[in-house]
Amino acid sequence: MSLKQQKALATGKIISDLCAKFVPHTPFSDLQDQFDLLLYRRRAELETGRSSEARGIVLIGR
């Protein structure tokens, strides 16, 4: 098993353990919706090679 696969498996186990201990509630649903929106936006940026979180300096002149 590759290192990447081992990390994915370990991450999956951690997430599974956390989900088993978590009790859903209304504020969580709202936060989950907001997180999903940010996640979809980020994945779209990655697919197009863009990043709204990039920092840089713009120089305009002649």
Range of the domain at 34: 24-48
Cα–Cα distance for residue pair 5/53, rounded to 1 Å: 28
Q: Quick check: is 59 in a domain?
A: no
Q: Is the model's pLDDT at 7 over the cut of 70?
A: yes
DSSP for 7-39 reads HHHHHHHHHHHHHHH----HHHHHHHHHHHHHH
The better pLDDT of the pair 6, 24 is held by 6
Residue 32 falls within a domain, yes or no?
yes
pLDDT of residue 62: 66
Predicted confidence at residue 54, as pLDDT, reads 67
* Predicted confidence (pLDDT) per residue in 9-60, tens digit: 999 999 999 989 988 788 888 988 999 999 999 899 889 988 777 667 677 7
Total tally of structural domains belonging to the chain: 1
